[in-house]
Amino acid sequence: MTEIDVATKAPESNATEQPAEPIESSPAAGPAVGEHCVTDRPTPAGQVSTGEIIKINDVEVYVSKPADYPHAPARFLLLLTGGTGLKSINNQLQADNFASEGFLVAMPDLFNGDPAPNTTTFASQEESQSLIDAFKLRIVETAKSFQIDMWLARQTEEKVLPILHKVIDGCRDEFADAIKHGDGIYAVGYCIGGRYVLLLGSDAQPTTPGPERPADEEAGETKTGPLIKVGAVAHAASVTPKDFASLRVPVSLACVENDALFPDDVRVAGEDVMSQANLEHEVRVYPGVPHGFAVVGVYEDATIRGAQATAYEQMLSWINEH
């Protein structure tokens, strides 16, 4: 593939197609992240974040506002990060970029003060290494990989979704004007955060079973209706085909070609589900870029830099059009 592959489906585009067979998650499939989910690229020189971190319903949230807000109306955007989390300057700059386009952006701490441990740096290494040094490096990287696996095991739906629900409830009060102006909540997500955009756009929100759950709810799910009006996702991670089954909002996907963290079979299965549901969606596959490319950060490769800018415009255009 030599150029960006684009597929767009309007709600009416598949009205005559036959219903799809139910899709089950592969037993081998499981949550996954990579180094680009948990490690920032170098921050662009001279750029500093301009928002602030506040508490909303006891959750830390980075809030970035348009320069003319509240004198001019703004729409409300929820931004969900990868493993680098709330304190990442690059993530904060990403939020600031959307704020400069007229969105009041709330970026919650999805991980409750527990961002992913840093797996690697992007500093160049000496080309020549002794066998002993190489062996030591392998041991360190194996230990870091184990730490990431342990961290990821803690980031369950039962932990993350209640955080998001608390933030959304709080923002409905704190930023009611922006939500009303945009007629709902817009959402963008990167890496792990991308999966939670899909879940928030679902009419079946997973819950923790307990005695307070209404008797008419299905086990582990509650029918609440989508909590967002539209979503845009870049290089999602930990997604399974099942995550598309109850999706009910228009979604744009910016994907990496041959992405081990969002495999082609999962992406295609998701496209099939959305098409059969006549759900408006857009999919673009970017070749020659690493997972994580769409998040603010410096790349020397001009191809990656260009794709980063294009993916941002893709996501921005999608939410602006909806």
Cis peptide before 70 (omega within 30 of 0): yes
Q: Domain range holding 147?
A: 5-321
Contact yes or no for 85/109 (Cβ under 8 A): yes
Please choose, from the candidates 244, 237, 252, 246, the residue with its C-alpha nearest in 3D space to the C-alpha of residue 218: 246
Contact yes or no for 229/247 (Cβ under 8 A): no
Name the 3-class secondary structure at 44. coil
For residue 39, the model assigns a pLDDT of: 80
For residue 164, the model assigns a pLDDT of: 96
Rounded Cα distance, 59 and 54, in Å:
8
Quick one: what percent of the chain has pLDDT higher than 70?
Answer: 70
Contact yes or no for 206/141 (Cβ under 8 A): no
| Residues in the chain, total | 322
Q: How many domains does the chain have?
A: 1
Q: What is the CATH number of the domain that holds 108?
A: 3.40.50.1820
Sheet holding 5-9, edge to edge: 5-9, 281-286, 251-256, 230-234, 186-190, 75-80, 103-108, 59-64, 52-56
Rounded Cα distance, 277 and 137, in Å:
48
For residue 94, the model assigns a pLDDT of: 98
Contact yes or no for 11/278 (Cβ under 8 A): yes
For residue 126, the model assigns a pLDDT of: 39
Contacts (Cβ under 8 Å, ≥6 apart) of 305? 299
pLDDT in tens, 88-117: 999 999 999 999 999 999 999 998 887 667
Question: And the tokens for 236?
Answer: 């999602």
Mean pLDDT of each 10-residue bin along the chain, 322 residues long = 53 39 37 63 94 97 97 97 92 98 97 67 42 52 53 75 95 97 98 95 68 44 81 95 96 96 95 97 97 95 97 98 96
Contacts (Cβ under 8 Å, ≥6 apart) of 280? 9, 10, 11, 250
Rounded Cα distance, 77 and 74, in Å:
9
